[in-house]
Amino acid sequence: MDDRLARAVLSFRAARRRRHLERQDGTPSPAAPAVPGARGWAARAAAVAVGAAVLTGVGAANAQAEQAPARAGWDGTRYWYKDETGWWRWTRHHAKYQARTQAAERASAERTQAPARAGDASSAGRGEPVFRGRSGWDPVDRVYWYRDESGRWRWTGHRSKFEQRHTLGASTTTRAATNAPAAPGPADRTAATSGSTAKRKDPTAPRTAAPARGLERAIAFAEAQVGEPYVWGGEGPNGWDCSGLVQEAYRKAGIALPRVAVDQYRAATPITRSQLRRGDLVFWTDSGSVSGVHHVAVYLGDGKYLEAPRPGRNVRVSSFSSYNPNLYGRVG
């Protein structure tokens, strides 16, 4: 507005000077063409500028900014959270608070863990995909995982490259396993006696469950956190939210999981309630769909699970009778 006003004043002065010269010699000045209505335009611009200044002053005098909270969660009167754009918001409804904090977590995860769409892990220059313990297509990071000739895990965004290298890596691994000396055992003695070759499992095939010892390490870590406070966005060691606790517990067992509950469900193998066993994950969704997942816990068996429940509560062991999950997954 200041620039427009300055231009208007200059135009007005030029027009006034031109009229003064015309009165002296009786002819219009060719060096400065007439600008009709310059005086009126300048007056209108000045009026707009003054009006804007007045309105700005009124707004500044009457605006009452609400002070941002010190942290997210319940402050005694309302739930505070940051939306997808990073602005502080509040609500008095716990369900709405959970849904919107999960949405903000998903948006943050997408920004910080943007996966590269093509190339191998050894040459990736952008965000690295997260390996989830199985070969093939990863719908979360949208890449293909395979083992190379040396047995190392690699990824690519190209299906044709995956098929070529997956086959090559599998054949190399199979040859190495066939030529390696096997420890003597009943199965080997039977195979040697019959003259047949024992079949070995393809190491690149998807695993249905992690070793029991690994799962017990995850459970032991989670149980050690019982009594720690719930902290929104907490990743330990002095506070946890639901998905932060699950991610860290399974990391102790050598299993990499995404950060938020909905992505953890997508990374797991869906199972039914009747298939649940100790070390599986249980999830809650308001809408009945995967996109509505907002809470996750570690299943302990006998209808009990370990969770970081909500603001104002501590990490605890709960049962299906108190808060019933409706989705189930197996990782590893």
What distance in Å separates the CA atoms of residue 270 and residue 263, rounded to the nearest whole number? 13
248-294 pLDDT tens trace: 999 999 999 999 999 999 999 999 999 999 999 999 998 888 989 99
Buried b (16+ CB within 10 A) or exposed e, 294-312: bbbbbbbeeebbbbbbbbe
- Asked whether the CA dihedral 169, 143, 262, 309 is positive or negative, the reply is positive
Fold of 212-330: endopeptidase fold (from Nostoc punctiforme) (3.90.1720)
Alpha helices in 180-300 (DSSP H): 186-194, 212-224, 242-252, 261-267
- Asked whether the CA dihedral 19, 21, 22, 27 is positive or negative, the reply is negative
Joined tokens for residue 185: 């055992």
> Residue 80 in contact with residue 233, Cβ under 8 Å?
no
- pLDDT at residue 15, as a whole number: 80
209-258 pLDDT tens trace: 444 567 899 999 999 999 999 998 889 888 999 999 999 999 999 999 99
Element (H, E) at 301: strand 293-301
Catalytic residue status for 22: no
pLDDT exceeds cutoff 90 at 126: no
Alpha helices in 113-241 (DSSP H): 159-179, 186-194, 212-224
pTM of the predicted structure, to 2 decimals: 0.40
Q: Is 4 helix (H, G, I), strand (E, B) or coil?
A: helix
What distance in Å separates the CA atoms of residue 205 and residue 6, rounded to the nearest whole number? 74
46-71 pLDDT tens trace: 554 544 444 444 443 444 456 667 78
What distance in Å separates the CA atoms of residue 173 and residue 204, rounded to the nearest whole number? 9
Catalytic residue status for 166: no
Least confident of 46-50, 93-97, 158-162: 46-50
Buried b (16+ CB within 10 A) or exposed e, 38-50: beebbeebeeeee
pLDDT confidence bin for 111, thresholds 50/70/90: low
Question: Among residues 166, 228, 242, 294, which one is catalytic?
Answer: 242
pLDDT exceeds cutoff 50 at 308: yes
Phi, psi dihedrals of residue 28, rounded to the nearest 5°: -65, 150
User: What value, to the nearest 5°, has the Cα angle with vertex 189 and ends 184 and 195?
Assistant: 130
DSSP letter assigned to residue 7:
H
Least confident of 26-40, 165-179, 224-238, 295-309: 26-40
Domain with CATH 3.90.1720.10 in the chain: 212-330
Which residues make Cβ contacts (< 8 Å) with residue 80, sequence separation at least 6? Answer: 69, 71, 72, 73, 74, 88, 89, 90
Joined tokens for residue 211: 């070793």
Catalytic residue status for 66: no
Element (H, E) at 73: strand 73-74
Give the pairing type, strands 293-301 and 281-285: antiparallel
Q: What integer is the mean pLDDT of 174-192?
A: 45
Residue 233 backbone zone (phi > 0: left; psi -120 to 50: alpha; other: beta): left
